[in-house]
Amino acid sequence: MDNNTSHTAELHNSGELFFRELFVKCGEDPNRQGLLKTPHRVMQSFFELTQGYRQSAQEILNDALFDCDNDAPVYIQKIPFYSLCEHHLLPFFGHCDITYLPNKKVIGLSKIYRIIDMFSKRLQIQERLTYQVANTLLELTQAQGIRVEMQAEHLCVSMRGTHKINSTTFTSSCCGKPCPTRNPANTDSWPTAELQFQTKEFPISLGCFPKEFQEFTPVQIQVQVKFLTLPQACTSDRIEDTICYDHLSQLLYACCFKKHFNLIEHCGYEAYSTLKKFFKLKSISHLLRLKLTKKLTHEDLQQSAFQIGDF
């Protein structure tokens, strides 16, 4: 038996003796059938629940980093975790949401779960746990930025003390470049940016009937862009870092004006695809929505609209 094994066995034995004495102090009989082996089971359980102290992030990673040119945000949501409050040794548990901005590398998904598990299986407070997961993932992945959000119920609050049932604690930690969030409970915690503009009316060849081929339909396009990461123009005052509304309008005009569309849906998709390609070439992480409004000559209707987008 090596020294570590001997030391662990010694701790188990002393721990079992402690719990037997504790049962007596509580007014229980540690020799009754239901409690006879409980001290042994408790010590086994405690060592399992704190096994994170005997793990390292590098061992868990095991070179599971993979090349990837996509720099769009990666979202991993509702990862369950269970931990022990260091103040009362009572559980707290909930779920974790992670967003990271890759920097030419992505990490194996199972490694993220195991790193959360490693830090959870220590005596913790939620605030420290959230930061440790964020900081470690940033170091391992060398990502541009990482956001970790945790939501948990603490039994030291609901089982004892104030007895506040269904109380939830929310914590977040952001390391590196600010990341977008998909957590509705935290939508206002970090800066977000949005661009909107409306074009003048474009004369577009639109319609299914021969008469409509000879006419142009006035169509107006509304554009709404939600940036998933802050655009350069938010942190720079250089004119070349902004996005030119006029340029986007010209792109829309060019893709629509010289073509004939039977359906406004097809026209809208062409316009949407054109702007998507533009933002992709610029490596801008975004959500896009377009609304096309056309005037009608119908005696009972004045206009109709078609909308397409990511949100």
Residue-wise pLDDT for 242-298, tens only, equals 888 888 888 998 888 768 888 889 999 999 999 999 988 888 888 899 999 988 766
CATH label, 193-309, candidates 3.30.70.141, 3.40.50.2300, 3.30.1130.10, 3.60.21.10 = 3.30.1130.10
Q: How far apart are CA 59 and CA 50, in angstroms?
A: 17
What pLDDT is stored for residue 185 in this prediction? 47
Q: Over pLDDT 90: what percentage of the chain?
A: 51
Asked if the model's pLDDT at residue 100 lies above 50, the reply is: yes
Rg, Å, the chain Cα set:
29
**Per-residue model confidence (pLDDT) at position 242:** 83
Residue 262 pLDDT: 87
Instruction: Give, in degrees to the nearest 5, the angle at Cα 125 between 122 and 130.
Output: 90
Q: What is the pTM of this model?
A: 0.60
Per-residue pLDDT reduced to its tens digit, 2-20: 667 777 788 888 999 999 9
Q: How many percent of the chain have pLDDT more than 70?
A: 92
Q: What are phi and psi of 304, to 5 degrees?
A: -135, 165
pLDDT of residue 290: 94
> Which whole number is the average pLDDT over 178-199?
66
pLDDT recorded at residue 299: 66
User: Residue 59 CA to chain centroid, in angstroms?
Assistant: 25
**DSSP H helical segments within the chain, as ranges?**
3-25, 38-49, 57-61, 109-120, 126-141, 155-158, 210-213, 232-235, 245-257, 264-281
Least confident of 181-195, 213-227, 240-254: 181-195
For tokens 């409004």, the residue is 293
Does residue 170 register a pLDDT over 70?
Answer: yes
Residue pair 178/191 in contact by the 8 Å Cβ criterion: yes
For the segment(s) 55-186, the CATH number from 3.40.50.300, 3.30.70.2860, 3.30.1130.10, 3.40.50.10540 is: 3.30.1130.10
Amino acid 196: pLDDT: 87
pLDDT (tens digit, 9 = 90+) per residue, 59-85?
Answer: 999 989 999 888 788 999 999 999 999
Q: Which residue, 211, 203, 221, 202, is CA-closest to 293?
A: 221
Q: What are the sequence ranges of the domains in the chain?
A: 1-40, 55-186, 193-309
DSSP-based three-state secondary structure for 183 = coil
Contact of 224 with 286, CB cutoff 8 Å: no
**pLDDT of res. 2:** 62
pLDDT, position 212: 61
Looking at residue 150, its pLDDT comes to 93
Tell me whether the CATH fold assigned to 55-186 matches the one assigned to 193-309. Answer: yes
